[in-house]
C-alpha cells in the first residue's frame, strides 16, 4: 500500500480537480456577458432606443427597445446566429467552446492519473507528478486563453452590434455607447484556473517531500569512507 502521505496528496489533487470540473460545468451553463447599447435610426441624430445582448456560451437573449423602430425580446442559439454576422465572431466564439472542452478533457486525465497513483505501488508514480503537472497546467493555460478570447470578442470586435443588426432586418440602426459587463460564467473560469493550479501545488508538495527524503537516504552512503564502502 502507498504511504498515507501519498494517498492524501494524490486523492486531494483528484478531489480539487473534480471540483474544478464541477465549476466548469456551472460556468458553461450560466451567463457570461451582457452588452448594452444606445440605438437610433440611421437618418436621425437623437437616441430613441436601446438594445441589451445577454450571452451564454450556447444560447443568448436579445432585448430591443425601439431599436431601430420597435423592439422585442428574442432568444437565440449563439453559434448559428453568429454565422450570419461575420467570420471573426463565430471563429472566436467557436475557439472558446473548443478550448473549454479541452480543459475538461485534460482535467479528466488529471483526475485519472491522481486516482491511479493514490492506490499504486508506493515506490512508483505512473505518470504521477509529471502527468498531473502537464494536464493541470494545460487546463490552467487554456482557461486563461479562453478568458482573453471571450473578452476580445465581446469588447473589441463588433459582435454585439452585428447581433443587434441581424435582428433589425433591412433597417439600419446607429449603435453607440456600447458598454459590456462580464457575468458569473466568465469569472467562474478564474476559479477553475485557481483550482487547477492548487491541484498542481498539492502534487508538488508531495514530489518535493519525496525528493528530499530520497536525498537524505542517499547522503549516508555518499559520505561513508571508501574503506567501509569496499566491504
Q: Which residues contact 204 (CB under 8 A, 6 or more apart)?
A: 129, 133
| Binned average pLDDT, 10 residues per bin, the chain of 231 residues | 76 94 95 90 64 93 82 88 87 96 95 85 65 93 96 92 81 81 95 95 82 65 48 37
What's the pLDDT at 5? 79
What is the rounded distance in angstroms from the CA atom of residue 129 to the CA atom of residue 126?
A: 9
Q: Which of 20, 4, 11, 2 is nearest to 203 (CA)?
A: 11
**The whole model's pTM is what?**
0.84
Asked if 92 and 149 count as a contact pair (C-beta separation under 8 A), the reply is yes
Q: What is the crossing angle of helices 184-223 and 128-155, to 10°?
A: 150
Residue keyed to cell 493514490: 118
What's the pLDDT at 139? 96
Q: Extract long-range pairs of 166-172: CB within 8 Å, 24+ residues apart.
A: 166/81, 166/84, 166/85, 167/62, 167/64, 167/72, 167/74, 168/64, 168/67, 168/68, 171/41, 171/68, 171/69, 172/41, 172/42, 172/68
Lay out the sheet containing 72-77: strands in order across: 72-77, 59-65, 49-55, 33-41, 173-182
> Is domain 4-210 classified as CATH 3.40.50?
no
Q: How many CB atoms lie within 10 A of CB 26?
A: 13
Q: 74: which strand partners?
A: 62
| Rg of the chain taking only CA atoms, in angstroms | 26
Amino acid at each position: 500500500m502507498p504511504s498515507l502521505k501519498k494517498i492524501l496528496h494524490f486523492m486531494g489533487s483528484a478531489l480539487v480537480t473534480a471540483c474544478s470540473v464541477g465549476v466548469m460545468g456551472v460556468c458553461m451553463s450560466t451567463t457570461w456577458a451582457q452588452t448594452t447599447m444606445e440605438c437610433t435610426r440611421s437618418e436621425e441624430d437623437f437616441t430613441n432606443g436601446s438594445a441589451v445582448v445577454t450571452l451564454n456560451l450556447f444560447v443568448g437573449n436579445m432585448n430591443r427597445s425601439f431599436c431601430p423602430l420597435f423592439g422585442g425580446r428574442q432568444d437565440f442559439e449563439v453559434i448559428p446566429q453568429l454565422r450570419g454576422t461575420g467570420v471573426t465572431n463565430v471563429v472566436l466564439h467557436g475557439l472558446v467552446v473548443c478550448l473549454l472542452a479541452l480543459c475538461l478533457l485534460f482535467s479528466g486525465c488529471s483526475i485519472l492519473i491522481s486516482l491511479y497513483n493514490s492506490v499504486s505501488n508506493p515506490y512508483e508514480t505512473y505518470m504521477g507528478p509529471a502527468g498531473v503537472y502537464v494536464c493541470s497546467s494545460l487546463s490552467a493555460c487554456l482557461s486563461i486563453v479562453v478568458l482573453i478570447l471571450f473578452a476580445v470578442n465581446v469588447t473589441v470586435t463588433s459582435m454585439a452590434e452585428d447581433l443587434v443588426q441581424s435582428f433589425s432586418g433591412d433597417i439600419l440602426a446607429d449603435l453607440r455607447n456600447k458598454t459590456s459587463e462580464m457575468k458569473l460564467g466568465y469569472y467562474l473560469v478564474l476559479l477553475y484556473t485557481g483550482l487547477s493550479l492548487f491541484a498542481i501545488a498539492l502534487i508538488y508538495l508531495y514530489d518535493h517531500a519525496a525528493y528530499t527524503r530520497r536525498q537524505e537516504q542517499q547522503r549516508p552512503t555518499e559520505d561513508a569512507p571508501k574503506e567501509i564502502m569496499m566491504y
